[in-house]
Structure 1
Amino acid sequence: MTIEALTLLHEKAEAERNRRGDERLTAEVDALTEQLQRAESDRRTLQQKVAELAALRDEIADLRGAVKELKAIRAGLQARLAARTSPGPLPVPRRRGDRQRMRTDVAAVRSLAAQAGRLDMEGRAEVALRLLRRSTEVLNPLETAEVLLLLRHRQHDELADNLIHVYGRDQGDQDVLHVALSLHEQGSFTDVGAILHAALE
């Protein structure tokens, strides 16, 4: 029996009781009243569970989206690393400024800067910074400097500032000096000072 039908039956029984004043009918009305109260309580509980389930589904959808995005970022970085390791440059230490290793992969740099900028514009600056931090594992210092310059050019200044701070703090002195030199050659003197300062912190 639906709660609407139970409510109608209760109302009819209560009206009949009031009209007849019958004790047996009073007991029936009381039983119907208790049954109706239980039904209404059950309905409220069910509505609450449905709302909780809907919220849980939304949370799961958000988490799946975040996992998908992180997998895409990871796949991009792995592909980038594979592309850098498969041809294999000649065995010259990078810290000496090897020209083969210091060439800029323009397409990869532009793609990375565009992706980070897009995340920043979508209000996901933390995700963008994580992407840039991971990219330092596969980018050489010249490429990192180009990413910084592109971020400045596209007015993602806060993201560029954060990358400078993280890179200067986490990378080795030689890499930091290579980035600083590249920035200096491009006339980005403020960023040169900022990355050297971050390296000293």
Structure 2
Amino acid sequence: MTPGELAEMHKRAEAERRCRRCASLSKKADLASAEAASLRQQLEEAESSKAGLHERLAALTRATPLPVPRRRRDRQRMSRDTAAAQQVAQQAQDLRNRGDDGEGLALTLLRQTTTEVLSPIEAALTLVTLRDLDQHQLADNLIHVYGRDQPDQDVMDIALTLHELGLADDAGAILRAAVG
């Protein structure tokens, strides 16, 4: 006797013992077992993708800067500030070099990013980068806009940073712009 024949005989024997209601319930139980197995599989997949999400979030958490106040000049944050400042200054230079209304677009970009998005340190580094790129007119305009539009504490922070970076004239100019 083969295993297939044995299984067939077992199936017939089970069928003889069951009434119609038992057979119906058995089918429902089989369907419920299959559905439970499918749900277990979906749960395992969801948990594994959630675990991957937790790993990604943990990696992002490890990459965040240390909670050091800006006034202490955290070197880790300073390197990020420099990257943002260089990017903004380069975009402003590119806009200015486009011609037509490039000067106006560059000034709008600088006004919006330095007064609404960037920290005072980043704004100071943007000014330094503009000077390095020989974009003196944009740098002078940034000094006047920032000094005029920003709160006093931000103006003092940028002036201190500029002074520490060796741009005492720009530090004085931004303080004069803030005073009026």
TM-score by length of 2: 0.56
> Aligned residue for 1:159?
138
> Aligned residue for 2:120?
141
In the alignment, which of 69, 83, 93 is matched to residue 117 of structure 1? 93
In the alignment, which of 87, 100, 107 is matched to residue 83 of structure 2? 107
Aligned: 1:132 with 2:106: no
Tell me which stretches of 4 or more aligned residues in structure 1 moved more than 4 Å.
Answer: 87-92
Looking at structure 2, the residues matched to 166 and 89 of structure 1 have their Cα atoms a distance apart, in angstroms, of 31
Q: Deviations over 1:29-83 (max 9, x none)?
A: xxxxxxxxxxxxxxxxxxxxxxxxxxxxxxxxxxxxxxxxxxxxxxxxxxxxxxx
CA displacement at 1:89 relative to structure 2: 7.4
Map 1:168-187 → 2, pairs under 5 A: 168-187=147-166
Looking at structure 2, the residues matched to 103 and 91 of structure 1 have their Cα atoms a distance apart, in angstroms, of 9
CA displacement at 1:99 relative to structure 2: 5.0
CA displacement at 1:103 relative to structure 2: 2.7
Aligned: 1:197 with 2:180: no
Looking at structure 2, the residues matched to 128 and 184 of structure 1 have their Cα atoms a distance apart, in angstroms, of 25
Give the length in aligned residue pairs.
114
| Structure 1 residue runs without a partner (length 5+) | 1-86
**Aligned amino acid, residue 120 of structure 1:** R
Query: Relative to structure 1, is the Cα distance of residues 192 and 127 closer, same or farther in structure 2, using a 3 angstrom cutoff?
Result: same
**Aligned amino acid, residue 126 of structure 1:** G
> Aligned residue for 1:83?
none
- Tell me, yes or no, if the aligned pair for 1:120 and 1:156 is still in contact at 8 Å: no
> Aligned residue for 2:20?
none
SS of the residue aligned with 2:117? Answer: coil
Query: Relative to structure 1, is the Cα distance of residues 186 and 99 closer, same or farther in structure 2, using a 3 angstrom cutoff?
Result: closer
CA displacement at 1:154 relative to structure 2: 0.8
TM-score by length of 1: 0.50
SS of the residue aligned with 1:103? Answer: helix
> Aligned residue for 2:59?
none
CA displacement at 1:120 relative to structure 2: 1.3
Looking at structure 1, the residues matched to 87 and 131 of structure 2 have their Cα atoms a distance apart, in angstroms, of 15
